[in-house]
Amino acid sequence: AQTVTQSQPEMSVQEAETVTLSCTYDTSESDYYLFWYKQPPSRQMILVIRQEAYKQQNATENRFSVNFQKAAKSFSLKISDSQLGDAAMYFCAYRSGNLGGSEKLVFGKGTKLTVNP
């Protein structure tokens, strides 16, 4: 079974600074997807960024980028120029990419990010 580990329960960053959230995962599959979701106090799940395992290039979405190390099974999220609105719980998630495989998302336990003004 696949597992996702987020080793940082809480992180904090100064506004305008950069912060990196860590995530490691375990799988025997070769085809899969990795995600970072943001969950603000409203509890809405917001997709921040997605990475296909077959792509070597790290995904980037504006101020958000990932460092995907497939061999090390590591998938960290970097937030640049942090803003107050970035404060939230961040979940790393895994989904199988195999056709006919499970479509469920496996989540890490989350990292609570605080942004200090």
Using CB under 8 A, list all residues that contact another protein. 42-45, 91, 103-105, 107-110
Q: Tell me whether residue 64 or residue 107 sits nearer to another protein (CB atom).
A: 107
Structural Rg of the chain based on CA atoms? 14
Question: CB 112 → another protein: shortest distance, Å?
Answer: 9
Question: CB 46 → another protein: shortest distance, Å?
Answer: 8
**Coil, strand, or helix at residue 72?**
coil
Long-range contacts of range 39-44, CB-CB < 8 Å, 24 or more positions apart? 39/88, 39/89, 39/90, 39/91, 39/110, 40/87, 40/88, 40/89, 41/88
Q: Tell me whether residue 34 or residue 108 sits nearer to another protein (CB atom).
A: 108
Question: CB 50 → another protein: shortest distance, Å?
Answer: 10
Q: Tell me whether residue 80 or residue 107 sits nearer to another protein (CB atom).
A: 107
